[in-house]
Every structure is written in structure tokens, then in C-alpha cells.
Chains A and B, each alone.
Chain A
Amino acid sequence: MIAEAGHYALVLALALALIQSFVPMIGARLRDPALMNVARSTALAQLLFVGASFIALVTLHVNSDFSVANVYENSHSMKPLIYKITGVWGNHEGSMLLWVSILALFGGLVAAFGNNLPLSLRAHVLAVQAWIASAFYLFILITSNPFLRIVNPPIEGRDLNPVLQDIGLAVHPPMLYLGYVGFSISFSFAIAALIEGRIDAAWARWVRPWTLVAWIFLTLGIAMGSYWAYYELGWGGWWFWDPVENASLMPWLAGTALLHSALVMEKRNALKVWTILLSILTFSLSLLGTFLVRSGVITSVHAFANDPTRGVFILLILCLFIGGSLSLFAGRATSLKQGGLFAPISREGALVLNNLLLTVACAVVLFGTLYPLAMEVLADFKMSVGAPFYNLSFAPLFVLLLLAVPFGPMLAWKRGDLLGVTQRLLAAGVAALVVIALVWAWTRGGSALAPLAIGLGVFVIAGAATDLAERTGLFRLPFATSLHRARGLPRSAWGTVFAHAGLGVALIGIVCETTWNSEYIATMKPNDVAQVAGYELKLDGLLERQGPNYREMIAQFNVSRDGEALSVMTPSKRSFTTRGSSTTEAALLTRGASQLYISLGDVTGEGAIAVRIYHKPLVLLIWWGPVLMAFGGVLSLSDRRLRVGAPKPARAKQRLQPAE
């Protein structure tokens, strides 16, 4: 019954989405408020029905109803409850249902909190949302129905892929989807603006919080996915330049560019056409990501689907939305009036440079992701584009971007003084040089570029701090005055500081981990001692244990440093009988921002076991950086200016504080 109810709720949601696709459009054409307001009710009702459908699927998984194919294929009655729930989106059908649920959630939020939007704009935005929703409801109902029954229900399910039986699955996909799908709002706003042929600074003010929300979740989702891969796959890698990872990185790069260009549009009423284009491109890249992951054109950890009809269906959705929106853009963009003049050296100019570098970097990633596919289709040979390619192409562009980051927020709007800003950044530059010299003197081995890259990270962090010091008059004015000013600073200014500093933090982590990572791989017997980066790890023994749906072998290591016992680490290897496969559960010991990492290999004869031990210096900075960035985003989101949302040009002008 529950499966049928869930299926039926999904069909009703489709019907509502179809109504929402057309009625508000007609209402906007006829200027009929009643018809336009239909969008609000249907969007909320849609959320209700998709939510019901999603809860139905969760209930089926929790109850282990193996008469439903989706549950049979991905669940097991012995599976812990949390994995029964997360297993809902650990498969193709369920994750598509999560996708549309989040889409409906965002639509519902616009409907519920969009009261200060002009009526016709809200009607258009929700109609565009409904177009996207209809396409994906159809996709789910036609090709990937999660509620299909099995005629002769089996007694036991086939269990979830062991690699996915981890808390990471509870966090990573929902976060990532909140980011991906969140960009649909800025897309809908862009299309609505094109349809209405009207766009102004107020538009940017409405769009920015939505973009920011999506960006925060995407940032955290990517970071979480990276950390998950790091501890779950057992060899300590945290970024693989895998097409599926690129699929999430590309919307992030475009979305970051969008955040910055929307800022120019909001403050200076310039870059309108470009902001619209970026909104379209960002969501298009999200759709492309969905296609790459869901169609199975690329084999990887995440490619659950290898049914070609699904791929073709998503490809059609992709062509329809990207092609349609870009044609609309080509037709209508010229009608948008340009405004806001600025000199090349100015805050606007710096943000243009930021956009340029981010979009070009995004294009490089897109090229690296699609080139092997294109060559396979056109020239019929296989190849792979991996880290070396991106290190030579993506990294230099990002270095340029990071060099420019401290300058941007300190330049004045309209016309900036590059020389003056350089002078004020002198302290940050000196700090960076000192750090380069120190790192050079203290470390041995590794690339000569590493100290320089760390210096760049320090420059970015110190630059963010300088910006803050300049704004509050720290060191120039009495401390109490600075404190008072700091309290008076708009939260978005604090947000900028944290987000930019996060970039520097992540860079330092990346460089330290890749350069001074030490490794020990060997077979060890009980009472053997391994020496890694000054730590002694003694293998105490091996023991076996029975888990809920697996057997695991645990190795117990005593970790000490200079004779002082620190901790016990217990990496394990789990074998899952249902799927006949095994996973490696790495053990992590955090010391400051650095980590010791142990993962197990196979047991060889005579009770010895292959182990892989890493010491990863400052590795946690890689993820603290994005967390800082997201925190900056949250601060910025809590800014009064964005919360109030209503455009008040007079007050906006007051806030344009020159950096002088």
C-alpha cells in the first residue's frame, strides 16, 4: 500500500507541476493576480506530495519491504537503521527522488518566503521551477520508478554497497544536492528576468541569498565528499579529478563566479547580462553533473546507472533546458539595459577578473572531463586525463586568482588605486615572504614550489586580515574605536574575510599534505613496530569480530612518540557476506591538524598482515578551509541587508563604503 501511495503522490506532484508550468505564465500575460497566485499554492502542494512520496520510500526501506525492487536491491534486514534510511538515496532511483524533493523544497521556500517579490516575477520563477520539476518527475516515473514491486518477493535483500555503508552517505549526497539543485533558483530567476525583459539591482538582491545558500551547501558537500573518500577508500587520497568530482566542482566554480558578479550587479547595477548568463551556466553545469553521474557514461564510484534509456532521457532534459535557456538568452539579452560605468582598476574590475579566472578554470575542468569522452566517441581510443593535466592547467589559473584575491576587496568601487592597495598589502606580502623563508629553512625534501605555494596561502589569509584591519582602523585608531567599528561592520564584510581566508587555509593544507606526506607500507606481524614521521606504531594483535551484517578483522596498534604512549588505533577490514565484498576501514589519529592514517591490506601466511601507514601533515586544513568558506557564507547570509531583501536604493548607497 505504502509503495502505491508513494507512487501516486509522485504522479500527483507531476500533475501539480504541469499546472504550475502554465497557469502562472498565462496569469502573468493577462495580469491576473488570481492566476499568478496559483503558482504559490501549487508549489506548496507539490512540496507536500513529493515529501509524502519520499517519506513513503524511506518507510519502505526502514520496514525492509523486499516486495519493492528498490528495497530488495539496496537493503538488508540486518542493516543498521541509519543505513536503511541513508540507503534510500544510495541508489539511482532513490537519489533522483531526493533530487526532486529538494527541488520542490526550494520551490516551496520561494513560494512561502517570496512575499516581497513582485507578483509576476514570482509567478515566472515558480513556473520555470515547475518546468524543471516536470521534466524530472517524468524521468523518474518513466525510467526510474523506485516503487516497482517484485511479483515473488524474496525473503532477504541484497544489501547496500558496503562502501556506501557509512555516515558519509547520510551527509554528502543531501548536501551536494542542496547545492546543485539550489542553483535552480538563480536559474529560474534568470529565465524569469529574460521573459519579463526587466532586470535591476533589486533582482540581484533577491537572487543573491538563494545563490549563497546553494553555494554554502555545495561547498560543504564537496568538502564532505572529499573527506569521505579520504577515510573510506583506504589509501588516503582526497581528490581524484574523477569526472564525478569534476561534475560537482564545475557548478561550484561557476556558482562562486555568480556570487561575485551578482555583487557587482546589486551594488553597481553593472554586469547584468553576464550575471544572467552565469546563472544559466551554473545550473546547466549542475544538470550536466547530474547527467554525467546518473547516465553512467563514466564508470566510477558514483555511477550507479548503466541503463542507456536513462542516459538518453537525461541528455534530452539537458539539451532542452540548456539549449532553450541559451536561445532565450541570445534572443533577449540585448534588450537588457547596461548600467554602471567603472574603470578597469576598481572593485568591479577586480570582480570581473575573478569571474574571468573562475569561468576559464571551470572551462578547463569541463574540457578535461569531456575530452576523453569525446575522443572515445569520435576517434575510438581510450585515455584518461588525470591529476597531471589539472596540475599543469587548472593550478596556474588558480594561482593567478589567489594572487588577486587580497586586492579585490580593498579596491574602491568605480575607480580604484592599485598602488595604494599594494602599499597597504605590503605587510601581508612581507608576512608571506617570511613564511616562505622559514618553510624553506625548516623543511627537507619536496618540491621547491611548495614553500612558495604556502607563502601564497599566507598572503591570502594575511590579505583578508589586512582588509579587516583597514576597515576597523586597527593600529591606526584607539583599540576601543576599532572594536566599535568591527561591531558596526556589515556581516557580509566579515563573511568575505572568512571565505577568503578559508581559501588560503585550504591551499596550505593541500600543499603540506601532498609535499610532506610520509608513508610506510609493509607486512607486519604482532609485536612488530613501524616508525613513521617520529611516531612508533606497534602492532599488538589481530582479532575478529562479528558486526550486524559483516565480519571484521581488527588490528590493534599502540601509538607512541618518544617513548610516551599516545593512543590505540584500530583499523579494520570488513567482509560483507551478502555481496561477497569487503571494505577497508581506516583508523585515524588526529594530532593538531595532522593525522596518522592506518589501513589494512590482506593477511598473508603466518599471521602477518599488509598495512599502509601514512603521516599526513596539516591534512585537516584541506577541509577546515571549505568549512571557513561556508561559515563566511553563513555570516554573509545573516547580513541584515540580505535578510530584509526589499530594495532600498537610498540605503544601499550608504553602504558603499570606499576602502579608503
Chain B
Amino acid sequence: MTRKQRRMTIIGGSLAVLALAAALVLNALRDSIVFFSTPTMVAENHVQPGKRFRLGGLVQPGSLQRGDNLAVTFEVADGGAKLPVAYKGILPDLFREGQGVVAEGALDANGVFKADTVLAKHDETYMPKDVADALKKQGHWKDDYGAKDPNMASGGTKPAATTAQGNSQGAVQ
């Protein structure tokens, strides 16, 4: 082989690997991306049952009901709309009524959001960033969300995250 041929082999091989990677990424993007919605966006966009998405909002105070065998239902609200959520499993440590929550799952035929994952990712204001941004955009943001807990009202910035998984393989399906 001449020097040129060797170089061409390596360049050809590199392009082949790059093309393979591009194909894999495009294919993966088609069916593995999960979008974020609030209840208002769900109502406006008529999301199809069975389509997976992340639902974010505030847990409607008084809506949390515990059923048998760790089944729970609650409502997620964003000021404009409400959406019932059903989940089976252990809720994360930081889950509480009136606070922000993000759940992942899909709508069923009755319009109930079946969550298989409930995330409660908070900073010290107990508000997930995604939810806060969405609420601000819709004009439902109230400054007092930030002052819920007098111990946490000032300065420090320390998020904690807990995750509850409805199925054991949550992150690694």
C-alpha cells in the first residue's frame, strides 16, 4: 500500500464510523426523546394516549389519595389546568402537596396520567426548575413560592434530589 492508500483507508474508516454514529443518533432521537409539558400544555395540545412525556406542575393540595398496596393518585395543577395522576410505588422523600413535582409516563384512555417515575428535584425553594420556568411563562408564578420555608429563605443554594421509580429498571430500560 502506498502512503496515500493507507491514509485513504483510515479516512474512509473514520467516515464509516461517523456515519454509523450519526445514523444511530438520528434513530435514537426519533423514539427516545421525552418532552416536558404542564397540564395546560397537555390540554391545549391534545396529547395522544400512550405517548410518553414528562408532566410538571404543583401537587394540588388535598388531592393526594393513598390506595391499597402503595397505589397513589394526586392531581398536578399549574394554575390553568389540572391533570389526575396515578402512580404505584414509593413517593420520593421530598414529595409533598402544594410543592412542585415532575412525573414521567403517559396518558391512558380515560385521560389519567399513568406515571411510572415521580421525580422530586428541588432546590431550596422546593420548586423544580422546569416547573418554575413553565409557571413563570404562564404568569402563574408567585414570589411566595420561594418563601415557603423560613429556614431556607435566604442565600444558600442547595438542591437535593430524590427519585422514585415505579419499576426497578427506571433509568436503564
| A residues in contact (CB < 8 Å) with B | 69, 73-74, 91-92, 158, 161-163, 233-237, 239-241, 296, 299-301, 303-307, 341-344, 349, 352-353, 356-357, 360-361, 363-364, 367, 381-393, 396-397, 514, 517-519, 521-523, 578-584, 601-602, 604, 610, 612, 614
Contact = CB atoms under 8 A, between A and B. Distances in A.
Contact of B90 (A307, A356, A387, A521): A521
A393 B28 contact: yes
B173 interface: yes
A389 B32 contact: yes
Contact of B24 (A240, A396, A604): A396
B59 interface: no
26 contacts: A92-B157, A163-B160, A233-B162, A235-B165, A237-B163, A237-B165, A299-B121, A299-B128, A301-B159, A342-B6, A344-B9, A344-B13, A356-B14, A382-B35, A382-B130, A386-B32, A388-B32, A389-B28, A393-B28, A396-B20, A519-B168, A521-B89, A522-B70, A580-B152, A602-B90, A612-B90
Contacts of A92: 157
Contacts of B121: 299-300
A235 B163 contact: yes
Interface of B: 1, 3, 6, 9-10, 13-14, 17-18, 20-21, 24-25, 27-29, 31-36, 54, 66, 69-70, 89-91, 93-94, 121, 123, 128-130, 133-134, 149, 151-152, 155-165, 167-173
Contacts of A300: 121, 159, 161
A158 B17 CA distance: 52
B83 to A, nearest CB: 17
Contacts of B1: 343-344
A301 B33 contact: no
Contacts of B93: 234, 581-584
A363 B19 CA distance: 13
Contact of B151 (A353, A392, A579): A579
Given A158-B156, A517-B169, A389 B90 contact: no
Contact of A301 (B29, B66, B161): B161
A387 B172 contact: yes
Given A158-B151, A387-B171, A393-B24, A522 B161 contact: no
Interface of A is mostly: mixed
A301 B160 contact: yes
A226 to B, nearest CB: 12
A580 B163 contact: no
A389 B29 contact: yes
A177 B160 CA distance: 21
Contacts of A367: 25
B172 A237 contact: yes
Contacts of B167: 519
Given A237-B172, A391-B28, 17 more contacts: A73-B156, A233-B163, A237-B165, A300-B159, A304-B157, A307-B157, A344-B10, A352-B13, A356-B17, A381-B35, A382-B36, A385-B34, A397-B24, A518-B168, A579-B151, A583-B93, A602-B91
B36 A384 contact: yes
A162 B124 CA distance: 13
Contacts of A241: 171
A308 to B, nearest CB: 12
Contacts of A163: 160-162
Nearest to A232: B162
A611 to B, nearest CB: 8
Contacts of B162: 163, 233-234, 584
Contacts of B35: 381-383
A601 B90 CA distance: 6
Contacts of A299: 121, 123, 128-130, 159
A17 B73 CA distance: 59
Nearest to A237: B171
A233 B171 CA distance: 13
Contacts of A73: 155-156, 158
A579 B165 contact: no
Contacts of B21: 360-361, 363-364, 393, 397
B29 to A, nearest CB: 7
B70 A387 contact: no
A610 B35 CA distance: 31
A303 B159 contact: yes
Nearest to A388: B32
Contacts of A74: 156, 158
B158 A304 contact: yes
A517 B167 CA distance: 11
A423 to B, nearest CB: 23
A388 to B, nearest CB: 4
A303 B31 CA distance: 28
Contact of A161 (B14, B32, B158): B158
Contacts of A523: 69-70
Contacts of A381: 35-36
A342 B121 CA distance: 52
